[in-house]
Structure 1
Amino acid sequence: MIVGGVRAEPDSAAFLLVAAEGGDRTGPDLGNWRVNTGSDEQVTASLHASNKLITGGGALGYSPVLTLACRPDGEPRWSEWLQLSDAVSASRKITISVIVDGGGKTDESWSVGSRGRTLVRDGDDGIKRLASANRLTLSWRFGLLSGRGEADFELAGLSEAIGQIAASCKTDPP
């Protein structure tokens, strides 16, 4: 994949590290998902992309992080976030192209969060579209002249992670 004129390579070392960290878990197989149930404000599950985006003129690379969240007391109850290291130039809304399991591309409007490094989509419909999916690709423009970013996510363990989030949030899964 080409990002800002630089080729982005899969992050296999991070995959191995994450897989090694999860070897001693008990309970449902959450794959590479990391669930955080320690907050009264929200319960989250996060997953690093299987590819890296190159930043800093090609000197640094990072994997965007997809986070699914549920708020036990609040609206919207469910949301999803995409955390980036490079800021997008949009200030309020950004169009993200979404491909689930290699199907057709759908364009969605996401809000731009703090310092342009978090993209947010509220509502449970985004979580529903992923519930039985195996793969997710998100693509967006960083800015008018700065190219596109793309993040690929292998969603193994997602239905278990959603179930755990919903149970901790004391609600039904979307």
Structure 2
Amino acid sequence: MMRDVVVAAALLFAATSVVLAEPDLGNWRVDTGRDGQVTASLHASNKLLTGGGALGYSPVLTLVCRPDGEPRWSEWLQLNDAVSASRKITISVVVDGGKTDESWSVGPRGRTLVRDGDDGIKRLASANRLTLSWRFGLLSGRGEADFVLAGLAEAISQIAASCKTDPP
């Protein structure tokens, strides 16, 4: 009799665990800011050297949805080292092996690169891998960030729902 109660409790626990399971977001971190914008962020799988080469950091790709703003969707690439461009920068974008060049805006202090619009999010929705490459400056060399996009479709769905809009 006691064994039946234990088995029933275990089955009930297993059933509720399945129902309450969160979507698999991989390494994506979803957050809602004070201004209401919803973000999903992912650290690059590689490190860039900074300063004199003694320290390394992983750039961060952030997908942004603004519930009441335009543009509604944006991509941000957050860096620790500033690029020397002031307004626009050309980034080489490789999505699952297909390469293209895009113009991104340079954010405050040159440490955030921004691409507005939902077309960038659309191109990533079913992708597995993203590589972004850019020049820090005329003599400063190139930066490259590799991202494994596991969990991206779930992250986009979650931020769209929180933003009260359809996914791109």
TM-score of the pair, normalised by structure 1: 0.83
For residues 15-30 of structure 1, the aligned pairs below 5 Å read 26-30=21-25
1:86 equivalent in structure 2: 81
Matched, 1:154 2:131: no
1:144 equivalent in structure 2: 138
1:167 equivalent in structure 2: 161
Partner Cα distance (1:38, 1:68) in 2:
13
Partner SS, residue 145 of structure 2: strand
2:96 equivalent in structure 1: 101
Partner SS, residue 80 of structure 1: strand
Aligned length: 149
Code of the residue aligned with 1:149 in structure 2: it is G
2:65 equivalent in structure 1: 70
1:129 equivalent in structure 2: 123
Partner Cα distance (2:32, 2:160) in 1:
10
Structure 1: which 4+ aligned runs deviate by more than 2 Å? Answer: 37-41
Note the residue ranges of structure 1 that are not aligned, 5 or more in a row: 1-24
Note the residue ranges of structure 2 that are not aligned, 5 or more in a row: 1-19
How far the C-alpha of 1:39 sits from its partner, in A, is: 3.6
Percent identical residues = 91
Partner SS, residue 94 of structure 1: strand
Q: Over aligned residues, Cα RMSD in angstroms?
A: 1.2
* CA distances 1:31-82 after superposition (whole Å, capped 9, x unpaired): 0000003544300000000000001111110000000000000100000000
Matched, 1:117 2:111: yes
Partner SS, residue 57 of structure 1: coil
1:35 equivalent in structure 2: 30
Query: Residues 101 and 83 of structure 1: is their aligned pair in 2 closer, same or farther, counting only changes over 3 Å?
Result: same
How far the C-alpha of 1:102 sits from its partner, in A, is: 1.7
Code of the residue aligned with 1:168 in structure 2: it is S
Contact 1:40 1:72 in 2 (8 A): no
Partner Cα distance (1:116, 1:38) in 2:
22
Code of the residue aligned with 1:69 in structure 2: it is V
The equivalent position to 1:55 in structure 2, one of 50, 62, 81, is: 50
TM-score of the pair, normalised by structure 2: 0.86
Partner SS, residue 82 of structure 2: coil
* Greater Cα radius of gyration, structure 1 or 2: 2
Query: Residues 112 and 135 of structure 1: is their aligned pair in 2 closer, same or farther, counting only changes over 3 Å?
Result: same
